[in-house]
Chain A
Amino acid sequence: MENQGYNYAIVRSFVTWSVIWGLVAVLVGVIVSFQMVAPDLNFAPYFTFGRLRPIHTNAGIYGWAVGVIFATFFFMVQRLCRVPLWSDKLARFQLWFFNITIIASAVTLLLGYTTSKEYHEMEWPIDVMIIILWVAFAINIIMTIMKRKEEQMYISLWFMMASIIGVAILFVVNSAAMPVSLFKSYSAYAGTNDANVHWWFGHNAVAMALTAPPLAMFYYFLPKSTGVPIYSHRLSIVAFWSLIFMYLWTGAHHLLWTPVPDWIQTLAMGFSVMLIAPSWGSVFNGYLSMNGQWHQMRENYLVKYLILGITFYGLQTLQGPMQAIRTFSAFIHYTDWVPAHIHMGTMGWVSMIAFASLYYLVPRIYGREVYSIPLANLQFWLILVGQLIWSISLWVAGVLQAGMWNAMNADGSLTYTFMETMVEMYPYWWARAFGGLIYMAGLIIFIYNLYMTVNKGKPTAAQTAAAVGRA
Chain B
Amino acid sequence: MWEKNPVLLLILATGTILVGTMVTMVLPFVWVNTDADRIEEVVPYTALQQEGRDLYIREGCNNCHTQTVRPLVSEVLRYGEYSKSGEFVYDRPFLWGSKRTGPDLARLGGKYPDEWHYKHMESPRSMVPKTNMPAYDWIAENQLDPQMIQRKMETLGFPFTTEEIKALEGKNEMDAMVAYLQKLGSDIPWREASATTIVGELKNPYPDVTHSEMEAWEAIYQDNCAACHGEHMEGVIGPELVGADYEEEILFEIIYTGIADGGMPSFSNLGTERVWKLVNFIKYYNKEEGH
Contact = CB atoms under 8 A, between A and B. Distances in A.
Contacts of B84: 259
Contacts of A166: 13, 17
Contact of A146 (B6, B85, B87, B88): B6
A180 B136 contact: no
26 contacts: A39-B132, A39-B134, A49-B64, A51-B59, A51-B60, A142-B10, A157-B6, A166-B17, A169-B17, A180-B151, A187-B92, A190-B33, A192-B28, A192-B94, A194-B92, A196-B25, A245-B19, A245-B20, A246-B20, A248-B25, A258-B96, A259-B83, A259-B87, A339-B99, A411-B272, A418-B78
Interface of A: 35-39, 42, 44-45, 48-51, 53-54, 112-118, 142, 145-146, 151-153, 157-158, 161-162, 165-166, 169, 173, 178-181, 184, 186-187, 189-198, 200, 237, 241, 244-252, 254-255, 257-261, 264, 267-268, 271, 330, 334-336, 338-339, 405-409, 411, 413-419, 422-423
A103 to B, nearest CB: 20
B269 A414 contact: yes
Nearest to B59: A50
Contacts of A422: 101-102, 130-132
B3 interface: yes
Interface stretch (B66-74, B162-170, B178-186, B187-195): B66-74
Contacts of B148: 180-181
Contact of A194 (B63, B93, B131, B138): B93
A44 B60 CA distance: 12
B155 interface: yes
Contacts of A241: 16
Which of A35, A36, A192, A267 is most buried by chain B, counting CB atoms within 10 A of its CB? A192
Contact of B24 (A198, A248, A257): A248
A48 B91 contact: no
Contact of B72 (A181, A255, A257): A257
What 9 A-B pairs are tightest by C-beta distance, nearest first?
A: A50-B60, A191-B88, A248-B20, A42-B134, A257-B70, A259-B85, A249-B20, A187-B93, A112-B58
Contact of A251 (B25, B54, B101, B102): B25
Which of A37, A38, A258, A408 is most buried by chain B, counting CB atoms within 10 A of its CB? A258
Nearest to B95: A116
Interface string B222-246: 0110000000000000000000000
Contact of A190 (B62, B91, B99): B91
Contact of A260 (B14, B18, B28, B152): B28
Nearest to A157: B6
Given A186-B155, A336-B99, 7 more contacts: A35-B134, A179-B155, A190-B91, A191-B32, A251-B24, A330-B70, A405-B78
Interface of B is mostly: helix
A283 B124 CA distance: 47
A45 B60 CA distance: 11
Contact of A191 (B16, B58, B64, B89): B89
A418 to B, nearest CB: 4
A406 B135 CA distance: 29
Contacts of A245: 16-17, 19-20
B134 A257 contact: no
B30 to A, nearest CB: 10
Interface string B99-136: 11111100000000000000000001100101111111
B209 interface: no
Contact of A418 (B54, B97, B99, B103): B103
B20 A413 contact: no
Contact of B21 (A37, A200, A407): A200
A44 B23 contact: no
A166 B13 CA distance: 9
A248 B14 CA distance: 11
A413 B60 contact: no
A189 B26 CA distance: 12
B4 A413 contact: no
A248 B21 contact: yes
B9 A153 contact: yes
Interface in B142-178: 148, 151-152, 155-156
B94 A191 contact: yes
A44 B121 CA distance: 13
A244 B136 contact: no
A146 B4 CA distance: 10
A39 B133 contact: yes
Contacts of A162: 13, 17
Contact of A116 (B75, B93, B134, B152): B93
A377 B72 CA distance: 48
A161 B28 CA distance: 28
A414 B273 CA distance: 10
Contacts of B92: 178, 186-187, 189-191, 194
A415 B132 CA distance: 22
Contact of B32 (A157, A186, A261): A261
Contacts of A35: 132, 134
A264 B21 CA distance: 11
